[in-house]
Amino acid sequence: IRSGFAEVIYCSGKTQQHLLQIFSRIYEQEGEVLGTRASIEQYELLLNEFPNVEYDSVSRIIKIERKDKKHIGKIAVCTAGTADIPVAEEASQTAEFFGAKVERIYDVGVSGIHRLFSRLDVIQSANCVVAVAGMEGALASVLGGVVDKPVIAVPTSVGYGANLNGLSALLTMINSCANGIAVVNIDNGYGAGYIATQINKLGAGNEE
């Protein structure tokens, strides 16, 4: 496949018929299949047809995954708060599905910055860092300042009022004065996990 990875299903808003059809097609072609933003109802629908389907209610990822998968390299997925974990899990599980090793470093935002510094070793040893943060999104800047690998920043819609449903965090991250940061859409854990996997693959090349 041109894009290097199998097609992924964005389940949100798909009709039952449409979802079943595309899920089946990819499963047949690839022997495994990944869906994001799936609801419980969609899980129950697919479970009827595919008893081996797995669903994680935090990340809302649904999948059938080959079991013999090797996980290479290292991606560090960090969050500012606990409310950012669903987005982070979407990133982490996407990356794992595509064969990356993932380290989770959650709840290390700037209001408790010592927690971040106590985990710096593992963060700095990754090929790529994913920074997931809502509200003011300052975590990405702090990470950009202390690691020399690419940081993929994911603004989340966590917060209220002038957070503008995540737009404020997005602007924070886009304007970061730290080096080596690029940004994906609000709550787009999937997109971050995908590009982080591409980067990690480059770094882990000789492992394969």
Q: Rule CB under 8 A: which of 53-82 touch a copy of itself?
A: 80-82
> 79 - beta bridge partners?
132
Residue 134 engages ligand AMP in binding (rule: CB under 6 A):
no
Q: Within 13 A of 167's CA, how many CA atoms are on the CB side?
A: 4
Burial of 56 per CB tally in 10 Å (0-12, 13-18, 19+):
middle
Interaction partner, residue 193 (ligand AMP, Mg ion, a copy of itself, none; CB < 5-8 Å by kind): none
Burial of 196 per CB tally in 10 Å (0-12, 13-18, 19+):
buried
Task: Rule CB under 8 A: choose which of 119, 182, 189, 208 binds a copy of itself.
Answer: 182
Task: Rule CB under 6 A: choose which of 29, 57, 82, 175 binds ligand AMP.
Answer: 82
Task: Rule CB under 6 A: choose which of 73, 137, 191, 193 binds ligand AMP.
Answer: 191
Residue 189 engages a copy of itself in binding (rule: CB under 8 A):
no
Residue 188 engages ligand AMP in binding (rule: CB under 6 A):
yes
Residue 169 Cα distances to 136, 165, 187, angstroms = 5, 9, 11
Residue 118 engages a copy of itself in binding (rule: CB under 8 A):
no
Contact 153/184 with Cβ under 8 angstroms?
Answer: yes
Q: State the residues that interact with ligand AMP by CB under 6 A.
A: 7-10, 36-37, 81-83, 177, 179, 188, 190-191
